Amino acid sequence: MPELRKDPIVGRWVIISTERAQRPSDFKHEKDEKKGGFCPFCNGNEHITPPEVLAYRQGGAPNKAGWSLRVVPNKFPALMIEGALNKKGDGVYDMMNGIGAHEVIVESPDHSLNLANLPEQQFEDVFWAFRDRILDLKKDKRFRYILVFKNHGLRAGASLEHSHCQLIALPILPKTVIEELNGSQEYYSYKERCLYCDIISQEIEDQKRVVLENEEFIALCPFAPRFPFEVWVMPKNHAAHFEDSTKHEIHNLSQIMQRTLRKLEKALGDPPYNFMLHTSPLSMANPEVFHWHIEITPRLTRMAGFERGSGFYINPTAPEVSAQFLREVDA
């Protein structure tokens, strides 16, 4: 019997379609063809990209070879860093200049490595780069939110093979973030507790949807997942802002994230996926309300007319099944 489940944060309904139940082996996806050829992110091609805004290196000059991680402005940015917002209206329509920052985090000079298979320290450095760039960009009072995300694979939106993440600083709050903030605020107003903290507490006690745990973080399949094998990674202790993470927390986050990505890679045959860092707005009046987290969404199914017309998602795999299978994968 199919089951309707309601996401307790944003109130979104999901159909867990047991009639279409699928195991990992049922999800077939075409492997991306390796194109080869010139890559602007490879070691030695630093002159092709815009000048770096951050780099981790053992030595050598900026914008030269010898780096282990590099952050550069996107050559084709969604938003531009220069200028004023210049907000205006035209009747019922609101608009402003497309001001923001759009950066690329090149995770390694090695074209052949993907994020899940980086050496442990290089993997951890990726999250240090997220933190360093957020702390720098939040000084710009034009920005209200910074979104960090990764597209892995062509179906997930990756336009270049060389593994990288992206960061976009926005002068407005994204709709998804507003929905999460509103749901969290409503719960906090009623119970004076963080909704995410209560979810974590219940999931730890229940264990059915837990994939991994360590001292400070938990990886779980959410109760009402939009996609098969969707996984959320969250700090066990309440924290509103990712960029406030300590050295120990970044280390533990990196360990659980890398193991989770390796489990997904092994279980599903290196699927296309996105992950998104959901952190608090840069100016947050009540940090007790929101709880930062990372959402990993493998792209194993396609949205069609029903999903787009209704706002519902149809997921053929229950999160309890996904979590159990991922727990059993050695990674």
- Mean pLDDT (the chain) is 92
Q: In this predicted model, which residue has the larger pLDDT, 86 or 213?
A: 213
What whole-number distance in Å separates Cα of residue 275 and Cα of residue 65?
29
Indicate whether 216 pLDDT > 90. Answer: yes
- Asked whether residue 17 is domain-assigned, the answer is yes
The per-residue pLDDT for range 220-258, each reduced to its tens digit, is: 999 999 999 999 999 999 999 999 999 999 999 999 999
Alpha-carbon gap, residue 94 to 102, rounded angstroms: 22
Choice between 246 and 308, residue whose per-residue pLDDT is larger: 246
In a domain, 52, yes or no: yes
280 falls within a domain: yes
Is 31 within the bounds of a domain? Answer: no
Specify if 32 maps to a domain: no
Dist CA 101 CA 7 (whole Å)? 31
pLDDT of 8 above 90: yes
- Of all residues in the chain, what percent carry a pLDDT higher than 90? 77
Q: Is there a domain that residue 34 lies in?
A: no
What would the mean pLDDT of 128-154 be, rounded to a whole number? 96
Q: What is the pLDDT of residue 307?
A: 83
Range of the domain at 65: 3-26+39-328
Q: Which of 23-27, 268-272, 284-288 has the lowest mean pLDDT?
A: 23-27
Q: Which of 102, 152, 162, 164 is flagged as catalytic?
A: 164
- State the CATH number of the domain containing residue 191: 3.30.428.10
Mean pLDDT across 286-312 = 90
**Into how many domains does the chain fold?**
1
What SS3 string covers the chain?
CCEEEECCCCCCEEEECHHHCCCHHHCCCCCCCCCCCCCCCCCCCHHHCCCCCEEEECCCCCCCCCEEEEEEECCCCCCECCCCCCCEEECCEEECCCECEEEEEECCCCCCCCHHHCCHHHHHHHHHHHHHHHHHHCCCCCCCEEEEEEEECHHHCCCCCCCEEEEEEECCCCHHHHHHHHHHHHHHHHHCCCHHHHHHHHHHHHCCCEEEECCCEEEECCCCCCCCCCEEEEECCCCCCHHHCCHHHHHHHHHHHHHHHHHHHHHHCCCCEEEEEECCCCCCCCCCCCCCEEEEEECCCCCCHHHHHHCCEEECCCHHHHHHHHHHCCC
| pLDDT band, residue 32 (cuts 50/70/90) | low
Residue 201 lies in a domain: yes
**pLDDT tens readout for residues 156-203:** 988 899 999 999 999 999 999 999 999 999 999 999 999 999 999 999
**Cα of 135 vs its chain's centroid, Å:** 18
CA 14 to chain centre: 20
pTM: 0.93
pLDDT on residue 31? 67
Chain centroid to CA 314: 21
Look at residue 246 and tell me if it is in a domain.
yes
Q: Is 251 a catalytic residue?
A: no
Q: Say yes or no to pLDDT of 23 above 80.
A: no
Whether residue 27 is predicted with pLDDT greater than 70 in this model: the reply is: no
The tokens describing 268, both together, are: 């599903």
Residue 303: band (very low, low, confident or very high) from pLDDT cuts 50, 70, 90: confident
For 257-278, what is the mean pLDDT? 96
Average pLDDT over residues 64-92: 91
Sign of CA dihedral 157, 159, 161, 164: negative
